Amino acid sequence: MRIIMLGAPGAGKGTQAKKIAAKYSIPHISTGDIFRANIKNGTELGKKAKTYMDQGLLVPDELVVDLVVDRVNQDDCANGYVLDGFPRTIPQAEALDKALMEMGQSIDYAINVEVPDENIVQRMSGRRACVNCGATYHIVYAPTKKENVCDTCEGELILRDDDKPETVQKRLNVYHEQTQPLIDYYTEKNKLVEVDGTIDIEKVFDAIVKILGE
Ligand code: ADP
Ligand code: AMP
């Protein structure tokens, strides 16, 4: 099953993608996580990506597309994958479609997790990420057992720089301008399915499983 997660920053794409990956035994591919790992390791790609990410801007398409195309060609993707945070622009979607076509494949579902802008800033200011393993929590909606300590690896939790309210507003604008057009793109291809992302994390997941099947 080849799945794309669509939705505003903070809509819950990563949260649901991890659950999908676990239930259907497919890899979770997050371009944001890949960039953050590169930043942490001080790679050239990480240095380039950071200048855009810190400003709430998208990393240029040419730095993202090859990376994802290489990743979906790896052996562990043979039975599918869930893409989280990619594509984010029409050229990225077209490049993915072209690469898949050359492999005789296509996307099965683009799942749009719908959350209005009003809820997003509050969501993002409460998001906490583990500096060590990248696990994501929320201080109210998905708290850790011990305050500020990752449940999985006991790493320290931080508020991502790009989750500060001034950057979130910019990321929302970028989302509406560059990423929202993908909703029409996948609707026209009959791939779009929508779920309400404002309800409980488990209820959102139930709605997704209803679509994807048990
Ligand atoms: P995205 O990957 O779309 O940027 P995340 O999955 O990281 O978003 O979710 C953003 C924040 O909102 C996280 O702190 C997460 O724990 C929380 N969250 C995710 N889904 C829900 C939900 N349905 N209700 C409340 N909070 C949620
Ligand atoms: P995310 O973790 O998905 O919220 O992504 C964090 C940041 O990484 C984004 O705000 C962008 O700067 C960058 N990024 C992640 N995925 C992409 C992509 N597909 N295209 C361009 N930039 C991306």
Summarised one tens digit per residue, pLDDT across range 49-71 is: 999 999 999 999 999 999 999 99
Q: What is the pTM of this model?
A: 0.96
Q: Which residues of 75-96 are buried (b: 16+ CB within 10 A; e: fewer)?
A: eeeeebbbbbbbbbbeebbebb
Tokens of 110: 């683009």
Q: How confident is the model at residue 214 (pLDDT cuts 50, 70, 90)?
A: confident
Candidate from 3-17, 28-42, 158-172 with smallest mean pLDDT? 158-172
Which range of residues forms the domain containing residue 11? 2-212
- Around ligand 2, the residues with Cβ closer than 6 Å are 9, 31-32, 35, 52-53, 57-59, 64, 85-86, 88, 92, 162, 171
Is the pLDDT at 122 greater than 90? The verdict is no
Which residues have CB under 8 Å from 89's CB, separation 6+?
Answer: 58, 61, 178, 179, 182
Residues annotated as catalytic are 13, 88, 127, 160, 171
CATH number at residue 120: 3.40.50.300
> Could you tell me the distance, in angstroms and rounded to a whole number, from the CA of residue 162 to the centre of ligand 1?
15
Per the structure, the count of domains in the chain is 1
Rounded-to-integer distance, Cα 11 and Cα 119, Å: 9
Q: How confident is the model at residue 76 (pLDDT cuts 50, 70, 90)?
A: very high
Q: Would you say the CB of residue 179 lies under 6 angstroms from ligand 1?
A: no
Candidate from 10-19, 35-44, 159-168 with smallest mean pLDDT? 159-168
pLDDT tens-place string over residues 152-169: 999 999 999 899 988 999
Q: Which ligand is nearest to the CA of 200?
A: 1
* Mean pLDDT over the full length of the chain: 96
